[in-house]
């Protein structure tokens, strides 16, 4: 959860979705869980921000998906490490 809205990651039968938004309003991205090779935290400075560093979760493989910039540190850490654990366990 974020201070306003939510970030939700679902993985079922090798297909994953990431939803970021409030209620039913937001964006959803789909990805193939089996094609993800790396999961890590990335630091970036958005173009519309003046020197503010943003932390985001990146899932990298055949495609690249970044999300979670709106999460606070503890929630981002939890989501990041849960995804890494699931990947290691072969989920």
Q: Structural domain boundaries of the chain?
A: 6-88
Q: What is the pTM of this model?
A: 0.83
Q: Residue 77 phi/psi, 5° resolution?
A: -60, -45
* The pLDDT value given to residue 91: 60
* The pLDDT value given to residue 47: 73
Q: What does the pLDDT look like over 24-50, one tens digit per residue?
A: 899 999 999 999 999 999 998 777 766
62 and 46 Cβ atoms separated by less than 8 Å = no
Alpha helix ranges (H) inside the chain: 73-88
3-state secondary structure of 38: strand
């Amino acid at each position: 959860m974020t201070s306003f809205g939510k970030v939700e990651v679902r993985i079922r039968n090798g297909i994953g979705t990431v939803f970021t938004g409030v209620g039913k309003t937001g964006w959803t991205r789909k990805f193939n869980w089996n094609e993800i090779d790396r999961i890590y935290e990335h630091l970036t400075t958005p173009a519309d921000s003046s020197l503010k560093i943003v932390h985001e979760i990146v899932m990298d493989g055949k495609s690249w998906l970044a999300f979670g910039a709106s999460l606070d540190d503890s929630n981002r850490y939890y989501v990041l490490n849960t995804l890494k654990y699931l990947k290691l366990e072969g989920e």
